[in-house]
Amino acid sequence: MKNRYIIGFVLAIFILCIGHRVHSLQTKTSDTEYWPDGKVRTVTEYNEMGGLEAISYYREDGTLEQEIKYDMDGHKIKESNYNSEGKLRDNADGWAVIKNQYEDGKLRVESYYGADGRLKEQKEYNKLGDLVGKQYVGDDDILPAEEYNPLPTSAGESITYYDSFGMKEGSTSAVSGTGFYPYWRIPEGEEDN
């Protein structure tokens, strides 16, 4: 009889310890770094399983500068940039927000948005991770790489251009071997063809 009480007592302690351990794993946590004046510099948030959930970067004046969010698998799903008034702002690359979509752990779609919230560019990837599609919407500032080589690659990529109203301006495709270029994007040497 005494052995039953001892076994029961040990079992109860074991269950309490396991329960406490499981509860501690299910609690969200965060780490905070500070500027020398005591204002928040960085907040890193972790999910219940200890995986990275979000990182927020703050300016020395305490205003939010950038926020990056992650899914349960640790993939970056959203990055947002803010001005000192807390409104979205375009970064040096010309976008304010990037959103990523994943399928079976692989990046499938990258969408770039301006400070006005409108889509600027979208890239699509196949299951192997090859870039297979690009869409530009109202792109006034073309990158030199885009101007130099606007033709798609042999991975089956297609490129579509849209104006700021969402109207299709032109497209190219390595799959079909055809291309329609708006007059302002005709590759050098093809103007007379």
**Which residue from 69, 67, 60 is spatially nearest to 41, judged by alpha carbons?**
60
- Terminus-to-terminus CA distance in the chain, angstroms? 99
Better-predicted residue by pLDDT, 99 or 147: 99
**Which residue from 103, 100, 76, 81 is spatially nearest to 92, judged by alpha carbons?**
81
3-state class of 95 per DSSP? coil
Distance between CA atoms of 192 and 48, rounded to whole angstroms?
A: 62
Q: What is the pLDDT of residue 15?
A: 75
Instruction: Specify the DSSP class assigned to residue 144.
Output: H
Query: Per-residue pLDDT for 162 more than 80?
Result: no
Q: What is the pLDDT of residue 111?
A: 94
- DSSP secondary structure of 3-63: HHHHHHHHHHHHHHHHHHHHHHHTS-EEEEEE-TTS-EEEEEEE-TTS-EEEEEEE-TTS-
Distance between CA atoms of 27 and 47, rounded to whole angstroms?
A: 7
Q: What is the pLDDT of residue 190?
A: 39
**Which residue from 67, 12, 21 is spatially nearest to 45, judged by alpha carbons?**
67
For the ranges 5-9, 13-17, 107-111, 137-141, the one whose mean pLDDT is highest? 107-111
- pLDDT over 70 for what percent of the chain? 61
Q: What is the pLDDT of residue 7?
A: 75
Model pLDDT for residues 3-50, shown as the tens digit of each residue: 776 776 666 677 766 655 555 557 899 999 999 999 999 999 999 999
State the pTM of this model: 0.64
Model pLDDT for residues 115-132, shown as the tens digit of each residue: 999 999 999 999 988 888
- DSSP secondary structure of 151-178: S--TTT-EEEEE-TTS-EEEEEETTTTE
For the ranges 89-98, 148-157, 159-168, the one whose mean pLDDT is highest? 89-98
Q: What is the pLDDT of residue 110?
A: 95
CB 68 within 8 A of CB 51: no
